[in-house]
């Protein structure tokens, strides 16, 4: 299991993963899909935006699939809200 902590509003996401903090822009395509793009990429791989699609929701969590924009390979994950 991999754990990441993030804070998101309509246009910005701040993510902490293994002690590293990244800031990304958020562009919502509809109520369940959005594109995130790293604002300060450290390498070529971080320049590629991610497409995220929310598949199911529960009271304080959701399941999603994600992948690089244009890449047919997708992975799945779960987000759990830990505070307001």
User: Tens digits of per-residue pLDDT, 18-54?
Assistant: 888 999 999 999 999 999 999 999 999 889 999 999 9
Q: Is the pLDDT of residue 66 over 90?
A: yes
* Mean pLDDT within 58-68: 95
Query: Structure tokens of 10?
Result: 């309509």
- Give the predicted TM-score (pTM) of the model: 0.83
Give the count of domains, the chain: 1
- Please choose, from the candidates 48, 40, 35, the residue with its C-alpha nearest in 3D space to the C-alpha of residue 21: 40
Residue 79 · residue 61 · CB < 8 Å: yes
Four-residue CA torsion sign, 65, 67, 69, 73: negative
Phi, psi of 75 (to 5 degrees): -125, 165
Domain carrying residue 60: 5-80
């Amino acid at each position: 299991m991999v754990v990441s902590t993030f804070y998101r509003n309509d246009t910005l996401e701040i993510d902490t993963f293994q002690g590293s903090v990244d800031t990304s822009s958020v562009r919502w395509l509809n109520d369940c899909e959005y594109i995130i793009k790293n604002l300060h990429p450290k390498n070529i791989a971080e320049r590629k935006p991610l497409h995220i699609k929310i598949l199911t929701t529960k009271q304080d969590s959701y399941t999603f699939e994600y992948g690089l924009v244009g890449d047919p390979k997708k992975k799945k994950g779960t987000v759990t809200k830990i505070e307001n």
